[in-house]
Amino acid sequence: MRKTIGSFSCIICTIFSTVCVGYSQSATATGKVVGKENSPNAITTAVPFLLIAPDSRMGGMGETGVAVLDDGNAQHWNPSKYLFAKNDFGFSISYSPWLAGLQVDDIYHLYLSAYYKVTKMDAISFSLRYFSMGRMELTDMQGLTIMEARPHEFAIDAAYSRILTDGLSMAVTGRFIYSHLSTYSTTQDIKNGLAGAADISLFYTKKFPSGKLYNHNLNVGLNISNIGNKVSYSSTLDRDFLPANFRLGIAYDMYFDKYNKLTLAFDINKLLVTTPPVYKTDSVGRVETDDAGDPIVGKGRDPKKTSPAGAIFTSWGDAPGGFVEEMKEFILNFGLEYTYNDLFSIRAGYFNEAKTKGARKYMTFGIGIKYSVFAIDAAYILPVASRNHPLANTLRFTLSFDFDIKKN
C-alpha cells in the first residue's frame, strides 16, 4: 500500500478512509466533515477499531452480545455477564484478517481476554486488543520512497464486576488506548494518540418456570462504553472523539429438552458522539468561516465546542436533520444460536445500519464446537446489496478455554 507524504492531517484521513472503510466513517481531505441534509452524514471518531466485534460467537450472531449468557469474551460486550458464567475461570484468543474484500493480507484484528470469579459475588477480567493497519510505503511527490510505515493501535482493559441483587450485576471497566498512525510529516509536529476511557455496564437475568419448555430464561444487558477524553495527534490539529457507544440488548434462551437449546438476541446501538452539523454557505456554495477560520454551524452542534461528557447527553438530539436523522443513527443487530448438548452450535444474524450513516448491512453466520474445557468458533460476514464490499468474506476465529478450578 503506497501513500504520498503531504500534511499529516491528509495522512490521517487517507489511512482512516483506506483501513476503516468497513466502519461507518467518512472524511474530507481536511479532516472536516460537512453534513448536508438528506445526504450521507456518517459520524466520525478516532480509534474506531474499538467497535470491532472481536469474537466469533457474537460475530456469528449479527454482533449481538450485550445480553447473551456464557460469553468468554464478555469483556467487550458486557463484563457484568461474567458473574453468571458456568465456570469460574476462562481465557480466549480471537483473530480476524480484517477487510478481506480489499484483498490485502496484512490488516488484522487480534483480541485476548480472560476472567476470574473471585467469589460468587465478584469477578475480575482483562483484555488486550491489537489492530494492525498493514504496511504502507510512504513516498514523496516524485514517487521516491521515504520510509515504510506500519500503523497500528491497541487497547488494554481491566474490569471489576459485582452482583448487586439476585439476578442483577454491574461492572466498571478502565481502558488505556494507544494509536500509532504515522511518525513522519513535512509540515506538522505529530505524535501518537493516547487516551483513557471507561465503561459502565449492567446485566439482569430471570429464569422462568418450565411450563411447556424444559427451561427458559430472559436476559437484559446495557453497556455504555469508551467514555473518555478526545484524542489528538498534533498540537495543531483538532481533537477527535472516542467512539463512545450506547448498547442495549435482550436475549431469550429456550431449552426444548436436556439437549436442544435456542437463543434469540436483539441489540440496539448508538454512538454517543456529536453528529457532523450542516455548515452555513454563501451564495456560491462556499462554507462560511468565522474570524478564527473555523466553519460556521448552521444546523446542529459544533463538535469542536462540545466536550465528550456533553456529547453523551446532547448526541440524542443533535442531528441536523432532526428526529428522522437521529433515528437513523441507531444500529440494529439480530442474532440466533442453536446448540446441541452444549457440544455443537450453529449461528446466524443480521447487522443493519442506515444508508446515510455508513450503510453497513450484512448477514453473519457462525459455527462452534466444544469439547470438555476447549472450544473453537468461526464466523463469516456476507454483505447484502453491495458488490466489492470491504467486509466481504471476512472471517473470525476464536479459541477459548473454560475451567471450574475451584470445584476441581
CB 59 within 8 A of CB 366: yes
Question: With 50 as the cut, is the pLDDT of residue 7 above it?
Answer: no
Write the pLDDT tens digit of every residue in 366-397. Answer: 999 999 899 999 999 999 976 778 888 899 99
Question: With 90 as the cut, is the pLDDT of residue 79 above it?
Answer: yes
Write the pLDDT tens digit of every residue in 219-263. Answer: 999 999 999 999 988 776 778 999 999 999 999 999 999 899 999
* Backbone φ and ψ of 139, nearest 5°: -125, 165
Evaluated on CA atoms 60, 370, 338, 203, the torsion sign reads negative
Mean pLDDT, the chain, rounded, equals 86
What is the distance between the alpha carbons of residues 192 and 182, in angstroms, rounded to a whole number?
8
What is the distance between the alpha carbons of residues 267 and 59, in angstroms, rounded to a whole number?
13
Domains of the chain in sequence order:
2-403 (2.40.160.40)
Helix/strand/coil for 325? helix
Length of the chain: 408
Sorting pLDDT into bands at 50, 70 and 90, what band is 185? low
Sorting pLDDT into bands at 50, 70 and 90, what band is 5? very low
CB 90 within 8 A of CB 72: yes
What is the distance between the alpha carbons of residues 313 and 274, in angstroms, rounded to a whole number?
10
DSSP state of 57: H
Beta strands in 84-144 (DSSP E): 89-97, 107-117, 122-133, 136-139
Sorting pLDDT into bands at 50, 70 and 90, what band is 191? confident
Q: What is residue 328's predicted lDDT score, i.e. its pLDDT?
A: 94
DSSP state of 296: P
Grid cell locating 20: 476503516
Give the pTM.
0.87
Query: Which of 84-98, 187-201, 248-262 has the lowest average pLDDT?
Result: 187-201
Q: Which of 84, 99, 90 is nearest to 1 (CA)?
A: 99
